Amino acid sequence: MVAAFNRGDFSAAMDMLTEDVEFDWSRRMLDGEVLRGREEAVGFLQSMTELFDEIHIPSDELTDLGEGLVLLFGKARFKGRASGLDVEASAANLWTVRDGKVARFRFYQTKEDALEDAATS
């Protein structure tokens, strides 16, 4: 999914989501929310592509934590569509994979927070 998104193949990336996918952004500093279902997740991701000319999701570090849980950690990069400004931010995500598709995505401020939550999940 990350590779498809990074190469601009939005359709292929969205095909990698389960119908009941959950995107949990509740730990985000601004506008924390939880999106439920493929339609809400796709809408969110489409809005991101409208705000940014370029989005690069980090795949520097992918760690299989077992039982369908994957930690993705690295530097996300964005280029503003209107401003042209480049922005970079650390990203730590836990992905739950079911039947080869993303069933749950959880965003964290730090890798340590993600690993702590994974240990209690």
81-98 pLDDT per residue, tens: 999 999 998 889 999 999
Both structure tokens of 12: 């292929």
3-class DSSP assignment, residue 12: helix
Whether 92 and 76 have beta carbons less than 8 Å apart is answered as no
Domains and their CATH numbers in the chain: 2-120 (3.10.450.50)
- pLDDT tens digits, one per residue of 3-43: 888 887 888 988 999 999 999 988 866 677 899 999 998 88
Write out the DSSP string of 79-90: EETTT--EEEEE
| pLDDT for position 7 | 84
Strands 17-24 and 101-108: parallel
Whether 77 and 88 have beta carbons less than 8 Å apart is answered as yes
